[in-house]
Structure 1
Amino acid sequence: MIAFTMLALVSCNDDEFLEQSSPDQLTSESFWRNAEDARSGLTAAYAELESRSNFWDGWQEGRPVVEYFRSDYAMPGPDATNYGHWMSIFNFTYTNGHTFVDVLWTTNYKGLNFANQVISKVGAMTSEQISDAEKKQIIGEATFLRAYYHFKLLTLFEQIILRTDIISQETLDKELAGRPESWTAIINDFKTAAEMLPPTNNAENLGRASKGAALAYLGKAYLYKAGDSSSSESSDFENAADTFKQIVDDGVGNYSLEPNFLSLFNGENENNSESIFELQFKSGDATSWNATALHFFVGDWSVGGWGGIEASMAAVNEMKKEGMIATNGLYDNRLYGSLYFKDSFYNDTNTNQMQGYTWDVLMNDTYGDTHDNHVYFRKWLPNYVWNNGYVGVNVVLMRYADVLLMYAEALNENGNTLKAIDLINQVRNTHGLMPNLTVSSQSDVKAQIIHERTMELTLESTRFFDLRRWGMLDQAMQAAGRIGFSAPEHSYLPVPLSEIQANSKID
């Protein structure tokens, strides 16, 4: 983390002031001396991704509770009812003073502040301080991060403050921007980043933004904008398709689907050919500590987790609805990579057990019964949760499978349904071992895409936002029995009370 110190104002008398700075400390003006400083500044900008800098109220609990609990397929786990601030998110009774609402807002703006400093200060460096090639790379990554933080904020909050410059005393208080203006800033930054960055990264630069990542998020931004009634334009789906085409058809990044679906989430196959943008974690050692305990939040008591979250039986029913037609005689295999529940698959004493035990044994030992109607998430769990402590399991934020499905959606909306079907089949065949689709109409393919995104992306922070852009939130929440939900009131989080109180231009 970069340390900045403010200039001290020392009063000499009533008429004059002496401005002094400590000679042995760096200021925001003197810090940016060379390429090493530029890299350090960029590291600080990355450190705020997904609110990681606030381990508990941001990354560990805040983000999962806000993004997972608001899915219609999520239920509070047995431990969740002990935390009123968790349950208020689930029940949609939170206010603008909620801890998680505040933390998600502030950490993303910290990231924006760091990104803007890098863009400005590294941009002012001379060729003697940093090579032109590295300067371009670092500014490109910082521009991607600025777009990412704005995009993250705009998916969570209805209105945000656009921060595209270093904050000054004059701009500290700033009004909220309209959503069309915000989308324009996000799209322009992703475009700029894509032009500046290499197609992909080598082993030394894992986790850093690339051209492939910038294009993937640019396409996603167009797709989300298309579903935003305040900002959508007739060209959005076409722009999304044109962007995804560069990745899928033109081969930017050279991505491909990973056949082992479960390995995408258990830490056994990190930074694989399907990964486009991935949060890097590692277990602590003598030199650093960058671990995560997300598996404890997701894992049920029965496997040694904290019991923070469950899935609903509706999720199982949706994932089973095509029947046992996979090529290995099972349901769509993504079901078993996403959820665990009472099923012959998990009660086979020879294979497919969780941590070496069948479902019935785990449930009987933990709850005293077979817990027939309970369902738990399997994603983000290492092979063993028990006694595993803080682990280094990476979290993928953007996968090639998601790009293929978003590309299919954009193509289908533009009338290119046949090509959309081909893309969907690629994902179904590889990850689900499922046969090709038999549907052919545009409306049926759209319905299939909704199903495929459930199969593919459950517990990957997409469900709530997908439902919102499809105009299906009220319908889905009513079906899930979430009676406290109202789309006009709860589609977005409110601007935090702390921002309203501190910013004179927001009321």
Structure 2
Amino acid sequence: MKNIIKLLSICLACSMYSCSDLTFGDNFLGSQPESSGAVLDSMFSSKVNADKVLTSAYTYLPYGLPTGAAPYNKLGVNVLEAISDLYQSCRDNANDGPKNLYYNGLLSANNSVANSEAYRYGSETQYNAIRYAWIYIENAGKVPDMTEAEKNERIAEAKMVIALSYAEMLRYVGGVPWIDHSIEPNETMEFPRITFAQTVENIVTLLDEAIPYLKWKQNDIDDGRMTKAGAMGLKLRVLLFAASPTFNSDTKWHSQADEYTCYGNYSAQRWEAAMKAGQAFFTELNKEGIYALIQPAEATAQARRLAYRTAYYDRGGTEVLISTRRGFNESTHSNLFDQRYYSGPTLNYVNMFPWANGDDFPANFDWENPSKQPFFENGEPTRDPRLYENVAVPGDNYFNDTPAPVYTNHQNYRVEGTGFLMMKFILQAASDRKDRPVQWPYLRLPEVMLSYAEAINETEGPKNAVTYVNQVRNRVGLTGLPATIGQKELREAILRERALEFGFEEVRWFDLVRWGRKEDFQKKLYGLYSTGNNVNKPTAFTFSTYELASRYWSNSWDSKWYLAPIPQTEINKGYGMTQNPGW
């Protein structure tokens, strides 16, 4: 943290981003702060200059896809799902985090493989965002050409940037040192770690302070700025995480778990708080409207897939509540494209997707003698449309719009894989990506719907919860869950629905963590061999399953993995951070 404070001097040195890297709507707010030593008075001498400071805070918000330079290439240019049950990394790469730190159990507080962890406290960008946001909050009053209403709205945006940054730290490490002002470079570096409970409370307080001053949804020009809908949705996400069994239990999740990493007791009121946050969101949605699930243009599998694609991929729209950005053009994701051939989704994940009508895919499906085609029948998809948008399967095209190289007799088939490829965020053809500026859908409406359903189910039972799950299912043509479903069954259905809807959107890992899903960390993972009846464009396949390389967790699971280790070098700085349980 000392290094962070020194780098973010009062002069507001120029950030690493160019003018085209972050846009609100389609127009950038201006160039980044000058590096010529501009002082605070000049930076807040006009609305235009002040906006550059707040824009700088936005540039440091989390982004889930690898975009090149550190620290934006977590897990060695991999995706967070690679350490969940949804995806397996098969990359022979010295910096690949999943293989070199997680699958072999070698992650430690003294890890020296730079940028290969899922999260490295002290080296991430959250405190940068927090610092810029506090500078803005403390100096916005000086801006002469802004109305009080404009100042209040921008300050609310800055508070939400801070809340989101702390929410990200909470999910990875628990309670953290809390910075509540813009730190002077020569200030005494004493920032003790606050408890898990205090961190949650402080985040919620910031969001509650911001909500009254934010627009429900931004217009096209300001798309990408924080909104009331985003703040209310983020509040639900934070409260749901805190209410979940790992952190909200009379039994500690690890023998060394302390007040910094859990509550230490169980309270039903935490579930109720999450439910009330969801209720407040939907009360506001019913009043304001605008946000809604994007519906297919017609009742076909392709139209449903495209509606789902629009929902997560496109800026603006009626579904993305919080959008973060690292760039504008497709090239921003180039590191994602060229590394996906060496890894892939697991068969376990593929098997989660139901048939196209909503019936569960059989757990005992006979792949060698299938009673029904598992992917396509006469050219028509037979499964949940979201499967094909998340996973490149045999018989479909990949991002170069040619048959996906996932069957063994394809000329570009790679044996070091899973038999599937990641499709999410990649899209099948160049024409699919044309004129579609990229983003990270940090929070979408379906997550709020499923989170609210979960909170209702845990507080009141399934009766009033199932309708929110069914809305998400119905959008892609699946039949609804029965009204008679039990609480335990609905709990499992919601967790599965979240995996299907938010594949590669960094939801699954945190779901496994907050529910303490030891069995999912330990289970065997599988791939699929597929052989086509034609080398160039097969229309039928034979299949056989195989077990993927096992992970250290299979036989040596330790719940310490729920939270990231704190680098010992960070603790040694002495400002107040402590180590997480088990590390």
Q: Would the TM-score normalized by the shorter structure come out above 0.5?
A: yes
SS of corresponding position for 1:293:
helix
CA distance in 1, matches of 2:305, 2:122: 30
Alignment of 1:371-450 (within 5 A): 374-384=419-429, 392-431=437-476, 433-438=477-482, 439-450=484-495
How many equivalent pairs are there? 467
Asked whether the 8 Å contact 1:5–1:26 carries over to 2, the reply is yes
Say which of 184, 189, 193 aligns to 2:206.
189
1:115 aligns with 2:133: yes
Asked whether the 8 Å contact 2:179–2:191 carries over to 1, the reply is no
Question: Alpha carbons of 1:268 and 1:68: their partners in 2 closer, same or farther (altered >3 Å)?
Answer: closer
Asked whether the 8 Å contact 2:405–2:411 carries over to 1, the reply is no
Asked whether the 8 Å contact 1:58–1:103 carries over to 2, the reply is no
CA distance in 2, matches of 1:153, 1:390: 34
Give, in angstroms, the shift of residue 370 of structure 1: 9.2
1:492 aligns with 2:563: yes
Question: Alpha carbons of 1:56 and 1:242: their partners in 2 closer, same or farther (altered >3 Å)?
Answer: same
Specify the alignment match of 1:341 in structure 2: 393
SS of corresponding position for 1:407:
helix
Say which of 233, 249, 257 aligns to 1:216.
233
| One-letter amino acid of the structure 2 residue matched with residue 183 of structure 1 | V
Asked whether the 8 Å contact 2:175–2:195 carries over to 1, the reply is yes
496-505 vs 190-199, which moves further? 496-505
Specify the alignment match of 1:93 in structure 2: 106
TM-score, scaled relative to structure 1: 0.81
CA distance in 1, matches of 2:67, 2:389: 29
Specify the alignment match of 2:534 in structure 1: none
More helix by share: 1
Aligned residues: percent identity?
A: 19
| One-letter amino acid of the structure 2 residue matched with residue 59 of structure 1 | Y
Specify the alignment match of 2:506 in structure 1: 461
CA distance in 1, matches of 2:407, 2:9: 49
CA distance in 1, matches of 2:67, 2:429: 26
Asked whether the 8 Å contact 2:59–2:129 carries over to 1, the reply is yes
Asked whether the 8 Å contact 1:162–1:176 carries over to 2, the reply is yes
1:277 aligns with 2:348: no
218-227 vs 239-248, which moves further? 239-248
| One-letter amino acid of the structure 1 residue matched with residue 82 of structure 2 | F
SS of corresponding position for 2:421:
strand
| One-letter amino acid of the structure 2 residue matched with residue 435 of structure 1 | T
SS of corresponding position for 2:551:
coil
1:237 aligns with 2:271: yes
| One-letter amino acid of the structure 2 residue matched with residue 483 of structure 1 | Y
Specify the alignment match of 1:256 in structure 2: 292
CA distance in 2, matches of 1:74, 1:306: 11
Specify the alignment match of 2:402 in structure 1: 357
CA distance in 2, matches of 1:423, 1:457: 16
Structure 1, unaligned runs of 5 or more: 7-23, 285-289
Deviations 1:337-389 (A, max 9, x none): 211222xxx25xxxx67643234687644445899951222111133379x99
Asked whether the 8 Å contact 2:87–2:343 carries over to 1, the reply is yes
1:37 aligns with 2:43: no
Give, in angstroms, the shift of residue 110 of structure 1: 0.9
Alignment of 1:62-211 (within 5 A): 62=75, 65=78, 67-77=80-90, 79-91=91-103, 92-96=105-109, 97-98=111-112, 99-100=114-115, 101-102=119-120, 105-122=123-140, 124-125=141-142, 128-168=144-184, 169-211=186-228
CA distance in 2, matches of 1:63, 1:185: 32
Question: Alpha carbons of 1:39 and 1:283: their partners in 2 closer, same or farther (altered >3 Å)?
Answer: closer
Give, in angstroms, the shift of residue 173 of structure 1: 3.0
Give, in angstroms, the shift of residue 469 of structure 1: 1.2
Specify the alignment match of 2:383 in structure 1: 331
Specify the alignment match of 2:333 in structure 1: 293
Deviations 1:7-35 (A, max 9, x none): xxxxxxxxxxxxxxxxx842245532222
422-431 vs 374-383, which moves further? 374-383
CA distance in 2, matches of 1:307, 1:73: 16
Give, in angstroms, the shift of residue 330 of structure 1: 2.3
Asked whether the 8 Å contact 2:407–2:413 carries over to 1, the reply is no
SS of corresponding position for 2:127:
helix
Structure 2, unaligned runs of 5 or more: 1-6, 13-35, 249-261, 296-303, 362-371, 525-549, 579-583
Deviations 1:438-472 (A, max 9, x none): 25211111111111111111111011111111121
Question: Alpha carbons of 1:470 and 1:372: their partners in 2 closer, same or farther (altered >3 Å)?
Answer: closer
Specify the alignment match of 1:322 in structure 2: 360
253-262 vs 449-458, which moves further? 253-262
CA distance in 2, matches of 1:164, 1:366: 57
Asked whether the 8 Å contact 2:399–2:427 carries over to 1, the reply is no
CA distance in 2, matches of 1:63, 1:411: 38
Specify the alignment match of 2:70 in structure 1: 57
CA distance in 2, matches of 1:277, 1:87: 31
CA distance in 2, matches of 1:170, 1:479: 49
CA distance in 2, matches of 1:385, 1:448: 35
Specify the alignment match of 1:287 in structure 2: none
CA distance in 1, matches of 2:189, 2:56: 21
Question: Alpha carbons of 1:54 and 1:333: their partners in 2 closer, same or farther (altered >3 Å)?
Answer: closer
Deviations 1:164-185 (A, max 9, x none): 1111344423221111111111
Specify the alignment match of 1:17 in structure 2: none
Question: Alpha carbons of 1:240 and 1:336: their partners in 2 closer, same or farther (altered >3 Å)?
Answer: same
CA distance in 2, matches of 1:391, 1:430: 22
Specify the alignment match of 2:574 in structure 1: 503
44-53 vs 162-171, which moves further? 44-53
Give, in angstroms, the shift of residue 63 of structure 1: 8.6
CA distance in 1, matches of 2:469, 2:63: 32
Question: Alpha carbons of 1:371 and 1:317: their partners in 2 closer, same or farther (altered >3 Å)?
Answer: farther
| One-letter amino acid of the structure 2 residue matched with residue 35 of structure 1 | K
Asked whether the 8 Å contact 2:456–2:465 carries over to 1, the reply is yes
CA distance in 1, matches of 2:441, 2:96: 29
Specify the alignment match of 2:19 in structure 1: none
Deviations 1:422-452 (A, max 9, x none): 1111110102x11111252111111111111
Give, in angstroms, the shift of residue 205 of structure 1: 0.7
Question: Alpha carbons of 1:353 and 1:118: their partners in 2 closer, same or farther (altered >3 Å)?
Answer: closer
